[in-house]
Amino acid sequence: MTIELLAPAADVAPNQFGFWEAMQQGGPVAWFILTIMIIMSVGSFYILITKLFEQNKIMKQYRTEVSAKFWQAGSLKDGATKLEKNSAWRQVIDDALKAEDEHAKMTDKLEAHDWMHGSLQRSQDSINAKLAGGLPFLATVGATAPFVGLLGTVIGIYRALINIGIAGSASIDKVAGPVGEALIMTAIGLFVAVPAVFAYNWLQGRNRRIAEHLSAFSTDILANLSSNGAVKPAVKAAAAKPAGASTAPKA
């Protein structure tokens, strides 16, 4: 049964060489491995594009809404209205305001502060977990695709040896198809794995930068709530000054 699966297809002329001819000679096993590779590649690029779009959207919201508008509002509730609904930044604000409403039920001041801090941390964790969705698939593809290609390589070499044994000679027309299939599988495995590894590392780095912004934003929110609105980020508070205010140094 194994020999029959690995044996070349009978309807392919032995003097035909090329990708499709090699795959046809490879039979069902070669096509099965190629299908797995295609699924891995398509899934990797889909995750790359969708996660990149999601990251760009969050970073754009940070630049255009959080940095430019949010801290200019008179209160956190007013600032929340300047943020896009269902955004990561709006989620942090909503969770913070909800924690503030609930902390009044706690009699211990320290417990109230810990409750608000924990609520903001849970909000960050949920956002980071969503951003990390799909990345394990990229890591899996990057780690396993070369070995799937290697499986095709081993099978191709094995088929070449079978042809040599059947023909009794190592003529080029007997081994070119299986060896070509083996090299093709190796190349496809690398073609699938390398972009997945690059995409995984790149997206991970961008997620870390977003996590840093989320952490700083949450810290500023907690400080603002704990001080009843007296504490704001220095740079963003300065941006809220009237346009006509003098910036000339004192004599």
pLDDT tens, position by position, 30-49: 788 888 989 999 999 999 99
pLDDT tens, position by position, 118-159: 888 888 999 999 999 999 999 999 999 988 888 877 777 777
Closest CA to 156 of 131, 135, 128, 187: 187
Q: How high is the pLDDT of residue 112? A: 65
Average pLDDT score over residue span 200-224: 90
Amino acid occupying residue 48: L
Residue 199 burial (CB < 10 Å; 0-12/13-18/19+)? buried
Helices (H) and strands (E) in the chain, counts: 8, 0
Q: How many CB atoms lie within 10 A of CB 152?
A: 25
Q: Bin 5: left if φ > 0, else alpha if -120 < ψ < 50, else beta.
A: alpha
Model's pTM, two decimal places? Answer: 0.73
